[in-house]
Structure 1
């Protein structure tokens, strides 16, 4: 590496600017749509006493957080693909759990899903959170024991939640003009993404490698929630070039540190389920309002949301689960950055 290349690399790895707030328009309306669409089925299944289905409902509902600012015709198509993909991810995770797969095949499956999701979401330009929720969905559902009939219930709930989220996300369509200039651009992007010379492929391969390594290492060291490490690795690599990857690393870790402290307080209060549900709804709203502006702030909301959601079905050890979350996040994020540095590409643009 010559001096110019070394200088470019050091500049790309600089943490400078990670704290900046990005301007964003229409954030409030988008956040309320996401909050509503993502939580309707989740609240319903918890009230009905089926807390074991809460993760499936939550992941199906995450359809609503994609394609926030796209014109409605584009949003309808993109969210249909996202909703179907998230439902499939829930089904895959549940199926491998019911089949009793071991850590290695599960880690490979999660890595494959992460790579395909990266390729797909980059191709259709779904925007944040990219392919991240697919990784979270398959990793989480694969980690909890379930019977084959239970897998069917998970898929049904995830699909219902995705449909509700899709409907809510499009609820403003009759009242606004439609920009049809991009109604076919997602098809062109998808065709370009699967072309064998496309620049999306190296990114997908790196996501696969990072997620696989994170899953295997997290399991080897005995983390209680190894899929959190895979999610962190995938999250860091959703960025499109190295400097953004570095910023995402710092933001995810720093936001998680603060979020873990908030979650520890909330979990220690041993709140009743209605209060937990209310906090989950508020946390998602906060995350949606801030995720475009600064990812670190969003993680302050996301971390308690995830930990509260996990506590709906069974009591948790506050110290153990918060420590696990922090360690898994740091591990996965470090692996993500390390993989990003492998052949970063000309100009260090590829994450």
Structure 2
């Protein structure tokens, strides 16, 4: 008899294929290594933990082109400095544990809204909440501690910015080419995509990948042709033929970070598309920051849910006498990073399961003798492994993130290993449960309405034969709205059928317009 795996468990344990993971992981490891080594070598290991949060700047802007990456990483640096300052202020306040949990929830909520608004990408608002949480639990006795912690974080963040941007000197076009290769592979994957709702996810991912590739390749003729090939496959003009998909995969494999770009001859339709994309450059620049989009209701739910769940977890933990109450608040914020109840359930399963197993690794890591230098080496190893795993599966990453968080928090502040492990397990489970409760109670009731409005807009634009770029943008908005609404309970099946029909008709209109 075959065992049936619950859909949420199956989705939460799915391991995604990745590319270019090593480069990012090594950058992140180097960024963390600099403040850890410098401060430990100068006899200040207790301050290394604070500086590490500035190094977490390197976790943002993962694969963005260098111009956008420079802005994202700089903004993340300022946010992390502000988060550390908020945590230090909480540590200076009376009843610092309660104030600290409130600060974690508020910082996590604000950071999540801003990261969603500007589409910053992983790790989103979580690292800002984590920085606030740990610094709120570190000893602070005078206002000078605030200036010291902010300066340490800012210095480490500046070094991280330089490390993250250093690749420009070696391969300035690498992020751009990576975006194009991903678009080619995502379009090729449509040949294997199923029909119906399951295929919507593959088409949405392919559409987003092609959109990013167009923005990255703008003005570079040879690369624009490659993106046009990907969009031709996305449009379904070949019927998602396996031979066309194989050609796209071969092109992706030949597109290396350096070296010649594969040269192809564009069809007449693709030449028109390239010219159209160039004319629409202003519109395309506006797309990533659309106001009033379907993610806003979900972001508002995350903000309020993180505040309520974090505060409730902190208060409950405070009165039970357990230590490290901020872990519960951080876990609640982590669960609420998902844009829907379904994604929050997946994140809760991943965080609770990964933390439980990761605690066994953490216990062994904390128990290793050797003083601060052993902790530094363990932190660096955990950081690199975490970044290699997080893009594959968040639950797998928790196997390394759990010891990483414990080691950073305890660097220079030794705690018995059994106390650490017990507190972390209880706090994580508590935070996940409260985060799920907040996601269930604070429903994104506007998601269905936004989806209905997005479907109507696509149907109207298709009927009126509006500009192809405008119609494509509306389809992307509809897909985005569907992803959020489908993650909430009780979505009418007829709505899914309507989305599929609207997308099919829009694709036909786009193809005929070409």
Normalised TM-score (structure 2): 0.62
Alignment of 1:162-241 (within 5 A): 162-174=157-169, 175-177=171-173, 179=176, 181=215, 192=291, 199-241=298-340
The residue number in structure 1 matching 2:240 is none
The residue number in structure 2 matching 1:114 is 108
**Which of 136, 148, 156 does residue 151 from structure 2 map onto?**
156
Deviations 1:172-194 (A, max 9, x none): 11322274926998986567379
- DSSP-derived class of the 1:208 partner: helix
- DSSP-derived class of the 2:9 partner: coil
- DSSP-derived class of the 2:8 partner: coil
Looking at structure 2, the residues matched to 186 and 288 of structure 1 have their Cα atoms a distance apart, in angstroms, of 29
Kindly state the Cα deviation for residue 222 of structure 1 after the two structures are TM-superposed: 2.1
**Which of 41, 50, 55 does residue 47 from structure 1 map onto?**
41
**Which of 10, 16, 25 does residue 22 from structure 1 map onto?**
16
Alignment CA distance shift 1:186-1:44 (3 Å)? farther
Kindly state the Cα deviation for residue 278 of structure 1 after the two structures are TM-superposed: 1.0
Alignment of 1:1-351 (within 5 A): 14-146=8-140, 147-174=142-169, 175-177=171-173, 179=176, 181=215, 192=291, 199-342=298-441, 343-345=443-445, 346=448, 347=485, 349=487
Looking at structure 2, the residues matched to 199 and 237 of structure 1 have their Cα atoms a distance apart, in angstroms, of 10
Q: Does the 8 Å CA contact 2:40/2:373 hold for their aligned counterparts?
A: no
Alignment CA distance shift 1:134-1:12 (3 Å)? farther
Alignment CA distance shift 1:310-1:170 (3 Å)? same
Kindly state the Cα deviation for residue 102 of structure 1 after the two structures are TM-superposed: 4.2
Moved more, 93-102 or 220-229: 93-102
Q: Does the 8 Å CA contact 1:124/1:186 hold for their aligned counterparts?
A: no
Kindly state the Cα deviation for residue 232 of structure 1 after the two structures are TM-superposed: 0.6
Larger Rg: 2
Which structure's relative contact order is higher, taking Cα pairs within 8 Å and 6+ residues apart?
1
The residue number in structure 2 matching 1:8 is none
Kindly state the Cα deviation for residue 53 of structure 1 after the two structures are TM-superposed: 1.3
Moved more, 235-244 or 20-29: 235-244
- What is the CA RMSD across the aligned residues, in angstroms? 2.7
Kindly state the Cα deviation for residue 123 of structure 1 after the two structures are TM-superposed: 1.5
Alignment CA distance shift 1:261-1:316 (3 Å)? same
- DSSP-derived class of the 2:80 partner: helix
Looking at structure 1, the residues matched to 285 and 353 of structure 2 have their Cα atoms a distance apart, in angstroms, of 34
Deviations 1:141-178 (A, max 9, x none): 11222122122111100000111111111111132227
Q: Does the 8 Å CA contact 2:98/2:318 hold for their aligned counterparts?
A: no
Deviations 1:104-146 (A, max 9, x none): 4433322211110111111222211110011111111112221
Alignment CA distance shift 1:283-1:103 (3 Å)? closer
Looking at structure 2, the residues matched to 219 and 323 of structure 1 have their Cα atoms a distance apart, in angstroms, of 15
Normalised TM-score (structure 1): 0.89
Alignment CA distance shift 1:145-1:276 (3 Å)? closer
Alignment CA distance shift 1:103-1:350 (3 Å)? farther
Looking at structure 2, the residues matched to 229 and 335 of structure 1 have their Cα atoms a distance apart, in angstroms, of 9
Looking at structure 1, the residues matched to 318 and 77 of structure 2 have their Cα atoms a distance apart, in angstroms, of 29
Moved more, 202-211 or 25-34: 202-211
Alignment CA distance shift 1:260-1:39 (3 Å)? same
The residue number in structure 2 matching 1:3 is none
* Number of positions where the alignment pairs a residue of Structure 1 with one of Structure 2: 341
Alignment CA distance shift 1:66-1:33 (3 Å)? same
Which ranges of structure 2 fall in alignment gaps of 5 or more residues?
A: 177-213, 219-281, 449-484, 490-514
Q: Does the 8 Å CA contact 1:13/1:243 hold for their aligned counterparts?
A: no
Kindly state the Cα deviation for residue 101 of structure 1 after the two structures are TM-superposed: 4.7
Q: Does the 8 Å CA contact 2:84/2:153 hold for their aligned counterparts?
A: yes
Looking at structure 2, the residues matched to 190 and 138 of structure 1 have their Cα atoms a distance apart, in angstroms, of 27
Alignment CA distance shift 1:314-1:111 (3 Å)? closer
Q: Does the 8 Å CA contact 1:125/1:186 hold for their aligned counterparts?
A: no
